[in-house]
Amino acid sequence: DNLNHEYGTTLVMAGKSKEARDAFTAMLSGTPENQAMGHRSLGMLDELEGRFEDAIGHFRQAAVLSQPRQHPLSEARNRVFLAMALRDKGRADSAREELGTAYALFRKNYFEPTFVWWLGKALVANGQVARARELLDSLTRRVSDSEARRSQLSLQGEIARAEGRVPAAMSALQTAYATDSSLMVQETLARGLAASGDLAGAAREYESLLANRSSWFGWEAQIYAQLIG
């Protein structure tokens, strides 16, 4: 089900955006699940090309298609993408509403630790730190799982940074980054470095992110990386 998205992502990396759009659009004639994925992929491509209004439309359609299919994780992912696109267009109230729906889905369903971290990061980015703390508590209860431990440290660092507790943030983020060097952790680490006054270190991390577009296009990391430049 994800092959068209992966193929289209490869085309984007090769500079073939039109062909990538064709690959993503082909999903719109498939099952409702494939249509939802196609809209999400098109939304990410639109964002990359600066067409945020078009992206919002695709993410909204993806969320609508996911809802009646009882795929809570897919719906939550689509609503996070929609919320962050709305935020980036200055529609803070609408963004909070969409994140509220994703948060409600978290309360009713089991989500893998990595997505709980991603949702928590989006909540922090939109000023909903109290709700992000609830997600952190959920991850803390799962720390025997290595994925949950990495996710817990990452979200713990994100929350501490947002609250101005920079030493605590850096301690958690550096520990997380030692075992998870993904862009989501790296971007939070860069923010922590900037908050600690290490502007040169933050710049190096941001430059590294910009130089590796293939590592962030097509998934949640794109939400943050596309705005760095």
Output phi, psi for 91, to 5 deg. Answer: -100, 70
Sign of CA pseudo-dihedral 185, 191, 194, 196: negative
> Distance between CA 166 and CA 156 in Å, rounded?
11
For residue 58, pLDDT beyond 60: yes
Residue 166 contacts residue 195 (beta carbons within 8 Å): yes
Tens of pLDDT along 10-50?
999 899 999 999 999 999 998 889 999 999 999 999 998 99
Residue 224 contacts residue 187 (beta carbons within 8 Å): yes
Q: Which two tokens stand for residue 211?
A: 């130089």
Band (pLDDT 50/70/90 cuts) for residue 181 is confident
Determine the residue type at 2.
Answer: N
Helices (H), 17-51: 17-26, 32-48
Q: Look at residues 15, 69, 84, 12 and name the one whose alpha carbon lies nearest to residue 41.
A: 12
Tens of pLDDT along 62-90?
999 998 767 899 999 999 999 999 999 99
For residue 229, pLDDT beyond 60: no
User: Could you tell me which residues come within 8 angstroms of residue 68 by beta carbon, excluding any fewer than 6 positions away?
Assistant: 32
Tens of pLDDT along 120-153?
999 999 999 999 999 999 999 887 778 888 899 9
